[in-house]
Amino acid sequence: MTTTPQTVSFLGLGEMGSALARAAMQAGHSTIVWNRSAGKAQALAEAGARVAASPADAVDAEAIVVCLLDHASVHEVLDPVADRLAGRRLINLTTTSPDGSRELADWAAGVGADYLDGGIMATPEMIGTSQSSVLYSGSQPLYDEHRELLELWGRPEYFGDDAGMASLYDLALLSGMYVMFAGFFHGAAMVGASGVPAKEFAVRAADWLQTVVGLISEYAEVIDGGDYSVPGQQSLVFSDISDIVNASRAQGISTEVVDVVQRLIHRQIDAGHGSDGLARVIESIKNPEAAA
Ligand code: FVH
């Protein structure tokens, strides 16, 4: 990909920060790098990056990319250079939280900097490949002006000027991933108790999950339509997972993962919605206190 060369600074050269900086360098950007422990800058220095002696020495750039451990470390690094950030463009790719991102956007506005928040949906090895996507929110001008740079890291997508939205999507997607992994671990423990290796189960689980993943768009349509009684859906009564809970217990494993799902289903059945579709479970999640 050809890009218009810019000077881009990278604060934080952990696994992810280094991958982002490497991609920028490979595309021909003049790259300034800084990391708290100096050793992590060495490989990039050998590849041609200028190593800044301090964050203050790194702010003179068209874009400042921040990729640190967490929200607190972003403040630890940026607060001391606050008086040098007026007119600068900050792209924060540190995982924080929706409110953490909004707080950083407000802080940046207070020091006169433009702020774009990003949620990276990739591992460092995926950066720059078609498997990587990065969710952004915050300053649209910054997003538009630096689009070429952002495209180097993965498919960029913009979620509006509320700086917390990228983080919200990021964490919502990760919640889907973790719960799916927990489901896989549960299934692997079930068959594992009968001597089946997790590796063998994984092949079938991956196949099965791919078969059923298409159903989420059908559920989404029902949820957005607001009518859980639409005919043709699998009902909540039919979705009772007592067999799974009982079989898990019989295998001598924990039922914690499946108990949660069973509770969410039964909250709706107990409230008289047993003939409605499974998608109604979202009401148990949306209204934790209410019965339905
Ligand atoms: N790695 C991944 O797969 C995920 C994918 C999704 C997005 N995350 C987030 O990206 C942020 C950085 O992750 P990382 O993989 O680069 O993390 P580390 O390799 O552990 O590097 C952490 C860097 O942060 C520096 N650091 C930590 N605390 C401070 C501080 N108080 N002051 C200054 N720098 C700090 C650390 O420096 P050092 O320990 O080398 O001196 C590293 O450069 C993260 O938000 C992920 O959630 C990655």
pLDDT of amino acid 2: 44
Query: Using CA atoms, how far apart are residues 156 and 119, in angstroms rounded to an integer?
Result: 10
Instruction: Give me ligand 1 centre to Cα 120, in Å.
Output: 12
CATH number at residue 213: 1.10.1040.10
- Span 216-234, pLDDT tens digits: 999 999 999 999 998 888 9
Ligand 1 probe mutation, 9, 11, 13, 16, most atoms within 8 A of CB: 16
Residue 99's region, left for phi above 0, alpha for psi from -120 to 50, else beta, is: alpha
- Span 52-108, pLDDT tens digits: 999 999 999 999 999 999 999 999 999 999 999 999 999 999 999 999 999 999 999
Mean predicted confidence (pLDDT) in 177-189: 98
157 and 173 housed in the same domain: no
- Work out how many domains the chain is built from and give that number: 2
CATH number at residue 69: 3.40.50.720
Contact 54, 73 (CB under 8 A): no
pLDDT of amino acid 221: 96
User: Among the atoms of ligand 1, which is closest to the Cα of residue 96?
Assistant: 45
**Per-residue pLDDT band at 1 (split at 50, 70, 90):** very low
Residue 1 lies in a domain: no
pLDDT of amino acid 4: 76
Instruction: Give me ligand 1 centre to Cα 12, in Å.
Output: 7
265 and 206 housed in the same domain: yes
Which of 127, 162, 197 is the C-terminal boundary of a domain? Answer: 162
pLDDT of amino acid 258: 98
Which of 162, 189, 216 is the C-terminal boundary of a domain? Answer: 162
Q: 3-class SS at 4? A: coil
129 and 204 housed in the same domain: no
Residue 136 lies in a domain: yes
Contact 96, 165 (CB under 8 A): no
Query: Using CA atoms, how far apart are residues 50 and 34, in angstroms rounded to an integer?
Result: 9
Residue 291 lies in a domain: no
Which of 162, 196, 215 is the C-terminal boundary of a domain? Answer: 162
Within 8 A by CB and 6+ apart from 288, the residues are none
Instruction: Give me ligand 1 centre to Cα 69, in Å.
Output: 3
184 and 255 housed in the same domain: yes
Residue 14 lies in a domain: yes
Mean predicted confidence (pLDDT) in 22-38: 97
27 and 130 housed in the same domain: yes
Q: 3-class SS at 175? A: helix
Output the average pLDDT for the chain: 96
Mean predicted confidence (pLDDT) in 165-181: 98
Q: Does position 291 have pLDDT exceeding 50, yes or no? A: no
pLDDT of amino acid 5: 75
Q: Does position 190 have pLDDT exceeding 80, yes or no? A: yes
The binding-site residues of ligand 1, defined as CB within 6 angstroms of any ligand atom, are: 12-17, 35-37, 40, 67-70, 73, 76-77, 94-95, 120, 123-124
142 and 54 housed in the same domain: yes
The pTM of this model reads 0.94
Residue nearest to atom 46 of ligand 1 (CA): 95
79 and 195 housed in the same domain: no
User: Among the atoms of ligand 1, which is closest to the Cα of residue 39?
Assistant: 40
Q: At which residue do the structure tokens 């996507």 appear? A: 133
156 and 191 housed in the same domain: no
122 and 238 housed in the same domain: no
Element holding 51 (H helix, E strand): strand 50-51
User: What range defines the domain where residue 51 resides?
Assistant: 7-162
Instruction: Give me ligand 1 centre to Cα 138, in Å.
Output: 21
Secondary structure of 110-173 in HEC code, one letter for each residue: HHCCEEEEEEEECCHHHCCCCCCEEEEEECHHHHHHCHHHHHCCCEEEECCCCCCHHHHHHHHH
User: Among the atoms of ligand 1, which is closest to the Cα of residue 36?
Assistant: 41
Mean predicted confidence (pLDDT) in 4-8: 87
